[in-house]
Amino acid sequence: MKIPFNKPYWSNDELGSIKEALNSHHISGGGDFSRKSEALLCEYTGAKKTLLTTSCTHALEMSAVLLNIEPGDEVIIPSFTFVSSALAFVMQGAVPVFCDIRADTLNIDETKIEELISKRTKAIVVVHYAGVSCEMDAILVLSNKYGLSLIEDNAHGLFGSYKGKSLGSFGHLVTQSFHETKNIICGEGGRYC
């Protein structure tokens, strides 16, 4: 896959970049490379603001806090996902409502979401699995129809698209992962916007 980024953001000299970071004496968050990465992610997804976090799990937890998820609130989550997609909301007292997935994409089945929506539903979490997008048109219709927040867990979706639009640009809140099993890696790390 061709990475859709050019300088000044992107370099094929990873060891040189590590050396540059070490020589800057600023290797924690908020440094030059953090700012460049945040700007690149905003440019690519069209987000107004992005914040690098220590993990996608922490970005999901931040989503739950910012949405003011409270005990008894319900959050619809795909039945096939990493535990953090549910646990971030459970930690705030929410009840996870698991939605079946599609056999052809392993993503949330957009035709089964509406029957799970109740008066206590506060949000829908979608997970784009293995770079394959969820059916965002149908999900956005439901989110708007019922006034629900849409959290886009894009841990596996960076550089993927849906009808020509970048994954990670649909949700009210979007999370990203840079774990070593993801599309772009840095060992650990996540993004919230």
Which tens digits make up the pLDDT trace of 50-89?
A: 777 777 788 899 899 999 999 999 999 999 887 888 999 9
pLDDT of residue 191: 46
Active site residue 182: yes
pTM of the predicted model as reported, rounded to 2 decimal places:
0.79
Number of domains, the chain: 1
Token pair recorded at residue 85? 């997609």
Residue 18, domain member (yes or no): no
Q: Which of 49, 112, 119, 182 is catalytic?
A: 182
- Does 158 have pLDDT greater than 60? yes
Residue 104, domain member (yes or no): yes
Cα radius of gyration (the chain)? 17
Domain containing 160 — which CATH number?
A: 3.40.640.10
Q: Distance of CA 101 to CAs 96, 154, 184, Å? A: 15, 16, 25
Range of the domain at 143: 48-192
Predicted confidence band at 159 (pLDDT cuts at 50, 70, 90)?
confident
Residue 89, domain member (yes or no): yes
Q: Distance of CA 14 to CAs 26, 31, 185, Å? A: 17, 16, 12
Predicted confidence band at 2 (pLDDT cuts at 50, 70, 90)?
very low
Rounded average pLDDT over 107-135:
95
